[in-house]
Amino acid sequence: MTIQLNRINSDQVKSWQYIETTLIDPNRRLHIMSGIAIPAWEINDDSKIYRDLCEVRLGVTLPDFIQATCQVGLASVSNGESSFLFALDEAWVEPDKTSGELILFVRLALNGEDSSLARFGFQIVALAGNRITGVSGHIRWARSLFDASQFTDGSKLASVTANLVERITPPQGFEFDKLTPLGGNAPGGDVHRDGDDFSMPYSFEHLPLGVPLRFTVNLSAGHFPFDCSPGQTSGPFTVLLTPTHVSESVDFRVSQNNVVR
Amino acid sequence: MGDNLNELPRSVIRIPVAGPKPNNTLVFVRGFIAQPSVVDDDLARTWVTFDTLFRIDGFLQRKADEYLQNTRISMTAYTENLAQVDDGAFVGAVDEVEGYLTNDGALKGKALIADMDTKVELTLGFYFSAWVLTYEPRAAEFPKPDPRKWGIRQKGQLNEEMSRGRRTDHDRVTIVKDGCHAEPAANSLRLEKYFADRALRRAQGASSTSGHPKRRRKNYEGEEGG
């Protein structure tokens, strides 16, 4: 059985640090990812060697992926006074065939009584083209609704969440969309005055390809009137990024008891 | 590893990159995290700080905010060695690690180390590897001396001045600046005289090489030709 981890879950990957750099070659970018994965694999048998595959979803989608290398090493092991074996036999990185998201694969081996291969460190260097997947846009509201002249940092006012959309069809009743946050909100950027409106930008990068996404706005408490709600004003309601359509624009407007869509 | 200079080229690699601006340098750093031996029946978790061999070239404290805003660090850690002198239950772990810059531009790291050993002494060692994206001034970006004040000629400047038929006077006098005396470069004056003579000869219809002893052509038999 494969051990599946996702770096957006801090119980599954610690110390995640990501660098994206543009190279002297203007057509390529280098992506560097580091962290400590937590397979938390335990066995209690020193009579044979157990082997398993660990997959770490890295949350970075590279539509023009070229090449990647990785280094892994044991980070946390334990044993209960028996013969033991801890091993990371093989490691490689591949993009997911559907979503293009990079996945780290590591073959683990473990032996011993009360033995645990709890964590391993990893570092990945990936080369790709310039295109990155993403969704960006603005959140707008009227000055009469909330005068944000005192604010420059929009992150204190609102944030946007990217959600995976899954259509659920129960045996009885109506079908509905289940939203699962991808993890990590995009805080609003700098607040700008735009005529009688205020606006602030947001952006998501490295969103997965080929999966339906929906974006929702979360207003911080204490600023907008309590009966305000954000509604989408432009862009597709459900976003589907593909290798030929890697970015999309989605705008929102906060208004009083008036959901646009 | 310590502070041995020999270790620097083996452990720190600087790579010029284009950005994101203002960053222009990507650095790979590796090293060890020292950890003392333990004999402790209880699981102990401790944050350990450690030095690295990397320090930002040309670090300016007055630009600390810019370094904090733009510098990116990606660091991980692994077990380097693990040894026991006898049978015993143990835990050896580096649970978390992260890099940070000190107030003089050096890269340091801190790691959450966990260890436990029953009965016998456990020896643990970890190593780290890190990538740092930052800004370091390059040689081409350092301010250059003003050629108008110091008699330094730019490439092509001499011919340009000659073609315009005028000379600047400032490289014919001794320049005094900030108490320092700077003589015009003797070589440049000799070169200038040579070009002036050659231009004069050309104007008189003479061969461009006949007037210079080192440029006289020889025929295939080694006899000097006119």
Same domain (yes/no): A218, A191: yes
Please give the C-alpha separations between residue B25 and each of A167, A226, B101, B140, B208, in angstroms, as whole numbers: 46, 48, 15, 14, 49
Same domain (yes/no): A101, A214: no
Tens of pLDDT, residue by residue over A50-60, are 999 999 999 89
Same domain (yes/no): A38, A148: no
- A155 contact partners, CB below 8 Å, separation of at least 6: A187, A188, A189
Secondary structure of residue B201 in the 3-state scheme: helix
- Give B181's strand partners: B176
What pLDDT, on a 0 to 100 scale, did the predictor assign at position B97?
95
Same domain (yes/no): A210, A164: yes
Of residues A33 and A191, the one with the higher pLDDT is A33
Q: Which of B187, B198, B193 is nearest to B152 (CA)?
A: B187
Residue with tokens 């309601």: A237
Residue A227 domain-assigned (yes or no): yes
Tens of pLDDT, residue by residue over A47-88, are 999 999 999 999 899 988 999 999 999 999 999 888 899 999
Same domain (yes/no): A119, A202: no
pLDDT-based confidence at residue B222 (cuts at 50, 70, 90):
very low
Tens of pLDDT, residue by residue over B7-21, are 888 889 999 999 898
- Comparing alpha-carbon positions, the chain A residue that sits nearest to B43 is A78
The count of structural domains within chain A is 2
HEC readout, chain A:
CCEEEECCCCCCEEEEEEEEEECCCCCCEEEEEEEEECCCEEEEEEEEEEEEEEEEEEEEECCCEEEEEEEEEEEEEEEECCCCEEEEEEEEEEECCCCCEEEEEEEEEEEEEEEEEEEEEEEEEEEECCCCCEEEEEEEEECCCCCCCCCCEHHHCEEEEEEEEEEECCCCCCCEEEEEECCCCEECCECEEECCEEEEEEEEECCCCCCEEEEEEEECCCCCCCCEEEEEEECCCCEECECCECEEECEEEEEECCCCC
CATH of the domain at A225: 2.60.40
What pLDDT, on a 0 to 100 scale, did the predictor assign at position B56?
95
Q: Cβ A73–B79 below 8 Å, yes or no?
A: yes
- Compute the radius of gyration of chain A from its Cα atoms: 22
What pLDDT, on a 0 to 100 scale, did the predictor assign at position A243?
84
Q: Cβ B93–A119 below 8 Å, yes or no?
A: yes
B23, B89, B131: residue with CB nearest A81: B89
Compute the distance between CA of residue A219 and CA of residue A156 in angstroms, rounded to an integer. Answer: 9
Q: Cβ A21–B17 below 8 Å, yes or no?
A: yes
Among A23, A44, A81, A84, which would you mutate to test the B interface (most chain B Cβ atoms within 10 Å of its Cβ)?
A: A81
Tens of pLDDT, residue by residue over A99-116, are 889 999 999 999 999 999
* CB neighbour class for A73 (10 Å; exposed up to 12, middle 13-18, buried from 19): buried
**What is the rounded average pLDDT for all residues in chain A?**
89
What pLDDT, on a 0 to 100 scale, did the predictor assign at position B215?
45
Q: Which of A111, A128, A145 corresponds to the end of one domain?
A: A128
Of residues A171 and B84, the one with the higher pLDDT is A171
Q: Which of A71, A99, A128 corresponds to the end of one domain?
A: A128
pLDDT-based confidence at residue A215 (cuts at 50, 70, 90):
very high
pLDDT of A127 over the 50 cut = yes
Among A12, A16, A19, which would you mutate to test the B interface (most chain B Cβ atoms within 10 Å of its Cβ)?
A: A19
Same domain (yes/no): A35, A139: no
pLDDT-based confidence at residue B123 (cuts at 50, 70, 90):
confident
Of residues A170 and B174, the one with the higher pLDDT is A170
Tokens representing A238 are 């459900």
Same domain (yes/no): A93, A165: no
What pLDDT, on a 0 to 100 scale, did the predictor assign at position B225?
42
Tens of pLDDT, residue by residue over A221-239, are 778 888 888 899 999 999 9
Tokens representing B13 are 């690699």
List the domain range (segments joined by +) for residue A93: 3-128
Same domain (yes/no): A209, A100: no
What pLDDT, on a 0 to 100 scale, did the predictor assign at position A22?
92
- For chain B, the structural domain boundaries read 5-136, 143-202
What pLDDT, on a 0 to 100 scale, did the predictor assign at position B129?
95
Q: Which residues of B touch A123 (CB under 8 A)?
A: 74, 76, 129, 131
What pLDDT, on a 0 to 100 scale, did the predictor assign at position B140?
55
A123 shares contact with chain B (CB less than 8 Å): yes
* CB neighbour class for B78 (10 Å; exposed up to 12, middle 13-18, buried from 19): buried
Give the gap in angstroms from C-alpha A28 to the nearest C-alpha of chain B: 10
Compute the distance between CA of residue B100 and CA of residue B77 in angstroms, rounded to an integer. Answer: 14
Give the gap in angstroms from C-alpha A18 to the nearest C-alpha of chain B: 6
Are the C-beta atoms of residues B130 and B52 closer than 8 Å to each other? yes
Q: Which of A100, A128, A156 corresponds to the end of one domain?
A: A128
Are the C-beta atoms of residues A124 and A68 closer than 8 Å to each other? yes
Q: Cβ B98–A15 below 8 Å, yes or no?
A: yes
Q: Which of B104, B192, B94, B7 is nearest to A34 (CA)?
A: B94
Residue A261 domain-assigned (yes or no): no
Same domain (yes/no): A236, A221: yes
